[in-house]
Structure 1
Amino acid sequence: MQADWISIERVALDRGITVPAALALAERMNWPRVFPTHETLVLAPPPGRA
């Protein structure tokens, strides 16, 4: 896995939003996703660029 993959929970924390809002953002922005056993990871740009 690439080093820049981060969990959707981390996206939510970094952006100060809820996990459902982060999932909706990932869906809306069509960020690539993988689904390991315990968490959803997205390839999201750094905060401020989405």
Structure 2
Amino acid sequence: MQTDWTNLERVARQRGITLSEAQSLAERMRWPMVFKTHETLVLAPVSAAGA
């Protein structure tokens, strides 16, 4: 089971998409999310996070 959380900014940068598109992708794919004061962390699949 994967336990590496990443932020949406990193997902956007690695996929070459905007932050808004990364947010939409995370919602559409139903990735678990944690909302913090200045960022949103997601539990994206390894292939989507580029790890």
- Which residue of structure 2 lines up, in the alignment, with residue 37 of structure 1? 37
Q: Work out the percentage of aligned pairs sharing the same amino acid.
A: 63
Residues 23 and 17 of structure 1: is their aligned pair in 2 closer, same or farther, counting only changes over 3 Å?
A: same
The aligned amino acid for 2:5 is W
SS of equivalent residue, structure 1 residue 34: strand
Superposed displacement of residue 36, structure 1: 1.1
Query: 2-side partners of 1:47 and 1:20: how far apart?
Result: 20
Superposed displacement of residue 46, structure 1: 2.4
Query: 1-side partners of 2:46 and 2:13: how far apart?
Result: 12
- Which residue of structure 2 lines up, in the alignment, with residue 6 of structure 1? 6
Paired residue total? 46
Determine which structure has greater relative contact order: mean sequence separation of CA pairs < 8 Å that are 6+ residues apart, divided by chain length.
2
Instruction: Give the TM-score, by structure 2 length.
Output: 0.81
Greater than 2 Å deviation, 4+ residue runs: none
Extract unaligned runs of 5+ from structure 1.
Answer: none
RMSD: 1.3
